[in-house]
Amino acid sequence: MIVFKTIKPSRLKVDAMRLKLLNAMRACGTEIKQDFEKTTATWEHKPEFEVLVSLTGPGPVVLVATDDKVYRYVSEGTRPHLIFAGYYTGKTNKRALVFKSGYRAKTTPRVLGSSGGGAFGTTVVRPYVEHPGTEAREFDSLVQELWETKFKRRMEQAMKEVAQASGHRMR
């Protein structure tokens, strides 16, 4: 006599899966935020970065963002433009800009990090300056490229761990 017995794995622990994914997403978000902070490590002006995670929609999403205007100008770049003293724009009563004649950038396009740099040279006093513009550093696309595969692997690992704990197997 042959008896076939059905072996049923335990139910997948959906709540545990969600918690494991959220924790892995938060950990990734913290590391991604640290990558963005590397780009401003030598800046006096320190933009604030915020981490948001979501499991709604097509899959796990981690968003690291800032609404800092200076960071946006550096990351996205600017065109050549004129900068006027506040008196001429109605913002302050200052009739002249005071600045150094030279400047060395603290960041480099498509490089995750920052170095020493800043203003140098003789002091210049003028009512306006012709700013040459800023070459885009593209920090956001660089960080996304660095994390795309790593993030996917971490999410797959988190799902695999919960599936195995539930008696399931993932390939």
Q: Return d(Cα 163, Cα 101) in angstroms, integer.
A: 62
Q: By residue range, what is the domain housing residue 67?
A: 14-165
Q: Is 37 a member of any domain?
A: yes
162 burial type by CB count under 10 A (0-12 exposed, 13-18 middle, 19+ buried): buried
Q: Is 2 a member of any domain?
A: no
Written as tens digits, the pLDDT of the chain (171 aa) is 787 777 666 676 778 888 999 999 999 999 999 999 999 999 999 999 999 999 987 889 999 999 999 999 999 999 999 999 999 999 999 999 999 999 999 999 999 999 999 999 999 999 999 999 999 999 999 999 999 999 999 999 988 888 887 766 666
Q: Quote the pTM value.
A: 0.84
Q: Is 81 a member of any domain?
A: yes
Give the model's pLDDT for residue 163.
81
Q: Is 58 a member of any domain?
A: yes
Q: Is 8 a member of any domain?
A: no
Place of tokens 């790593």: 150
Residues contacting 123, CB < 8 A, separation 6+: 98, 99, 100, 101
* Total number of domains constituting the chain: 1
Q: Is 104 a member of any domain?
A: yes
Q: Is 117 a member of any domain?
A: yes
Q: Is 9 a member of any domain?
A: no
